[in-house]
Amino acid sequence: MKKRLSLALQQDLKKNLLKVKSDSLIIGVNEGNALNPISSKIDQATNGVIKKLAKRKEFEGKVGQQAYVAAPEGLSAERLYLIGFGKSKDLLSNEDIDKILNSTISSLKSSKSNNASICFPSLKYSNKSQNDSWLLQKMATFFENRVYTYDAKLNKKNKSVNRLKKVNLFLESSLSATNQRKALKTGQVIGQGMNAAKDLANLPGNICTPSYLASTSRAAAKKYAKLSCKVFGEREMKKMGMDCLLSVGNGSAQESKLISMSYLGGKKGDQPYAIVGKGITFDTGGISLKPGAAMDEMKFDMCGAASVIATMQVVSELKLPINVVGVVASAENMPGSKATKPGDVVKTMSGLTVEILNTDAEGRLVLADALTYVKRFKPKTVVDIATLTGAVIIALGYSTSGLMNNNDKLAKDLLNAGQKASDKAWQLPLWDVYQKDLDSNFADIANIGGRAGTITAACFLSRFAEDFPWAHLDVAGTASYKGAAKGGSGRPVPLLSQYLIDKA
């Protein structure tokens, strides 16, 4: 994973605010007449600029509000940004913190600063799970994530242009400097993981093939002593009885791959936590061909796999004292003379047979065999991650991932992790009434059925996850951005990482 930002604590920053030589100085200002010690010091040095802005109601210190002062008199910094923190007595919610951080990074990006100094006052939080350590971790993830650029697009001339490279940070806190640094490192590593996932997602399908995902996973394993990787080709998968997974890649010249990564940070013999990713490196829909419009975005159908590969690196970098298994089921779904046809029946590794009514419902086919494969590790929990259904976007939009499960404690842990990491999921029902929609006249189960497409897709997967606590994350709406911002989002790496950090 690549570090894109130098992020450091600067304990003397508050003391030397007036002398800080920086492209941008950002301070937190509270709402109301009384200035906090940081903003008061700046106000005095700049001939009362903060109070003047407040008097004119151009900046009142409301949460997330921002103001810009160019070439501020009395300061060595070239620019001054004011960020509203609300009233000093107010308890800040997760959403309030997001507003503050969004304003901070948008200020820096609009200024095109190469370096910045940030000085924030002490905060009070509305949630017991929130504290200064949480804030610093979140801040570091946020900054590392937001300075991301898709380097493969850039020529040498542009690579060093307009990129924030260094941030010095001070937070008024009772947290020790050691714990502050630890929180910053954790957050920055998670941000690096998001960026690693985005790098994979953004590559075109002619480069990021199943074999490319395999080589990337092997390369990652070489960097960490406790991380190993094994890759299975089609011949080996055929021997294991993975006809369901193999059926998806039948029409492609690219060989399908099953990638198995193991991180051994806990005691030998401890049950691992397992994460399983859908890695369809390009999805035409197969014989059930998709419409041509926006089909280029089907290169993002491997974002579940990208999040698994990236999260395994986060776990390894943080040296978490647990065991984790990461499995990626990867194929390219193409039409061709050997492609699977609607109505074909295939056998899964578990022994169940599947009638494939729609070849565009292929993610659940590769995951079915991957979930059966992961059973051999006797996992504590299994979470699969997939850009599985367009229906989840109809249900939850582009901000929230869908969560379905067979274990309520696991679901609660994942939802809490998502809240902490600002990588939210929402639980949908997985009731027996939906299972009958998958009935088939010609096999044990059909691969589509019913109107509740997100739920019936999870029902399909649940048939292969009966032997362990399992949850399914449908990230079709959250793993990538649309429109002008088109590209991988790096989600749900923060959720997965926080879940595993909590378990460690």
d(CA 73, CA 78) in angstroms, rounded, equals 10
d(CA 347, CA 329) in angstroms, rounded, equals 16
Q: Residue 335: which residues within 8 A CB-CB, separation 6 or more?
A: 251, 284, 285, 286, 287, 289
Is the CB of residue 491 less than 8 Å from the CB of residue 401? yes
Q: Residue 266: which residues within 8 A CB-CB, separation 6 or more?
A: 272, 321, 322, 323
Name which of 203, 196, 202, 109 is nearest 147 in CA terms: 109
The residues that bridge with 70 in the sheet, in sequence order, are 79
Instruction: Give helix 132-146 / helix 177-202 axis angle, nearest 10°.
Output: 30
Q: Where do we find the tokens 């093939």?
A: 209
Which residues are part of the catalytic machinery?
290, 364
d(CA 220, CA 224) in angstroms, rounded, equals 7
Reply yes or no: is the peptide bond before residue 492 cis, omega within 30 of 0: yes
Instruction: Give helix 94-111 / helix 132-146 axis angle, nearest 10°.
Output: 40
The first and second tokens of residue 22, run together, are 């920086």
CA-CA distances (angstroms) from residue 165 to 7, 113, 117, 142? 8, 8, 12, 14
**Amino acid occupying residue 401:** S
The first and second tokens of residue 26, run together, are 């950002």
